[in-house]
Structure 1
Amino acid sequence: MGFTYTNGFHDAANAIATSVSTRALTPRIALGLAAVMNLLGGFVGVRVAETIGGDIVSVPVGSAGILLCIGALVGATGWNLLTWWRGLPSSSTHALIGGLGGAALAAGATVKWDTVIDKVAVPMVLSPVVGLVGGFAVMTLILWLFRRARPGPAVRGFRYAQTVSAAAMAFGHGMQDASKTAGVVTLALVAGGHRSATDGSIPWWVIALSAVVLSAGTYAGGWRIMRTLGRGIIHLDPPQGFAAEATAASVLWVATMTGAPISTTHAITAAITGVGSTRSAKAVRWGVARSIVVAWVLTFPGAGLAAALVYVVLSPLV
């Protein structure tokens, strides 16, 4: 639950940064909306929880399995806090999966590489590409449809529309990120002998607990990352904010329905970049985007090494 809370305030910016930066919503209203939609979305993403809970690693029963889960969570939490401190929108999803992989390798447990490639690596590459292209396409369509509209009324209308798109983005975030932690809790129940490894279902109370804590973390806010996403990459206006949120939410919803644990950070950052590119390539602050990409690349090995170190340090104590 500690990881889930950091996930909430680390990723709060994913759902609301564009709405706040365009002044479609005030920060507190946006955070409240995101927290509620995170809570509701958590009950829908069970397929993602099943992927994390049964298709990434095989957890041994006993203290080694419990320690594996601890290492994964501590490594992922440490990476979340480091990137939050630096104001970089890295992926909590990939920090968690990297942590699981690193701890599993340190423990000598089985990593299911086929699933990691099919449901993690491939979507990890595709989702930013789809977000980038989709953001560009949606914004281009908006520019064409509203090319004769009066700017004032059009901007006001998109500010109202952003309430809906921000809610959809937050709901998608809940579907993805509450479910991921629920999957790790299920792994811990298996390791502790409280649940059979062949039982692929996720207990309802695990989903509920993860959704509530993620919602609380989201309401705490992540202002450092919010500044990066809201204004660091490009200065957004309401039509652009709507296009970015609608695109990223669509990517999240499709991925959740297929059980693929993708990064909400990747989806919204790529969508913002694609939307901004319709203005001109120079409108995008590529230096900031490059720093974000570096954080993405380092997430898997960084969280994995931290998780493996935690496992190695604590293993003599059990």
Structure 2
Amino acid sequence: MSAYPILFLLAAVILVNGWTDAPNAIAAPVAAGVLPFPLAAALAAVCNLLGVVCTARVSDAVARTLYSIADFGPQALTALSAALSATVLWAVFAWRFGVPTSESHALVAGLTGSALALGTERLHLAPLAWVGLGLILSLALGFLLGRLFRARLPHCREALYRRGQILGAALTAFLHGAQDGQKFLGVMALILALDCGGYSLPHWASRACALLMALGTLIGGRRIIDTVGRKLVTLDPRAGFAAEAGCAAALALCTLWGFPVSTTHAKTAAILGAGAAPDGKVAGSLGLAWLLTFPACGFLAFFLVKCLLLW
């Protein structure tokens, strides 16, 4: 059986990622009234597209990390189908309640659960640990850099920081494309390897990934923007710019170091670092969702693999 039909399932995951993950890049300027939502979504879509295409031409370190997480063997079609299905189901569930979970986190969890369902020897711990370190770094760097920028930025006219938020949102969206595009290209390489026998990405792969992510970003994610940009903390223009700068710096550093990281985690952490005291109820729901993402998606993928193998 050809592996190519699974590419349609991967396309759905990339579309959902743009829909539910990329809105984090524009949450602060939309919430602050700097940009109307349609214009902000269009800006994020273009920058996401550029981020995927440009980074694919420079480095594939993140893609190779995702590619090497597991060796699924002869059940690869089943395992990848289960992992991608679990990622989509979790992302749609989170969007329904406006919770900004990370599709990167969910994708890694799905791949891990699928591998464990086939046997512990299928899972490669070294790249998985590298991914885990990246997730921790995205939270720590996002928070610390957001707070640092807030403390160091001078008290200038609000108009300057409002314009700066637009630039910051564009850069964050670009880096989101650079990071998440690489992760999905890694999964695409896993799928294509079933037919070609090794790591290989054709020229059309990055363009297709970029277009799908941009289309998903245009669709929306308004619920998530409301949660991150309005309900979590109150951001004035200066704090909003500090959050954008902190998130962009964290993503840029982790991308240069080759860590697969989460834009959602970095942006939310930067907003918490730059803003005032957060709403405890909202912050608690976010933390709970992040803690549940890995076990929930991993178990769902594990369960789907077992069901598919029985069927």
Per the alignment, residue 187 of structure 2 pairs with 184
Give the aligned residue type for 1:156.
Answer: A
Per the alignment, residue 239 of structure 1 pairs with 238
Task: Please report the TM-score for the alignment, with normalisation by the length of structure 2.
Answer: 0.91
Structure 2 gap ranges (5+): 1-10
Per the alignment, residue 280 of structure 1 pairs with none
How do 1:1-318 and structure 2 match up within 5 A? Answer: 1-43=11-53, 44=55, 46-53=60-67, 55-60=68-73, 62=74, 64-108=75-119, 110-117=122-129, 119-142=130-153, 145-146=154-155, 149=156, 154-191=157-194, 194-197=195-198, 199=199, 201-277=200-276, 283-317=277-311
Q: State the shift of 1:226 in Å.
A: 0.8
Q: State the shift of 1:228 in Å.
A: 0.3
Per the alignment, residue 8 of structure 2 pairs with none
| SS of equivalent to 1:124 | helix
For 1:117-150, what per-residue CA distance to the aligned partner results, in whole angstroms no more than 9, with x for missing partners? 1x211121222111111111100111xx22xx4x
Give the aligned residue type for 1:57.
Answer: A
Q: State the shift of 1:304 in Å.
A: 0.7
Mapped partners of 1:34, 1:50: distance in 2: 26
Count of residues in Structure 1 that have an aligned counterpart in Structure 2: 296
Mapped partners of 2:206, 2:298: distance in 1: 25
Give the aligned residue type for 1:111.
Answer: L
Change (3 A) 1:176 1:69: same
Mapped partners of 1:48, 1:202: distance in 2: 13
Mapped partners of 2:135, 2:109: distance in 1: 13
Give the aligned residue type for 2:138.
Answer: S
Mapped partners of 1:58, 1:202: distance in 2: 18
Task: Please report the TM-score for the alignment, with normalisation by the length of structure 1.
Answer: 0.89
Mapped partners of 1:208, 1:253: distance in 2: 21
Mapped partners of 2:72, 2:256: distance in 1: 25
Q: Which portions of structure 1, spanning 4 or more consecutive aligned residues, are displaced by more than 3 angstroms?
A: none
Contact 1:120 1:262 in 2 (8 A): yes
CA RMSD, 1 decimal: 1.4
Structure 1 gap ranges (5+): 278-282
User: Identity, % of aligned pairs?
Assistant: 38
Q: State the shift of 1:209 in Å.
A: 1.1
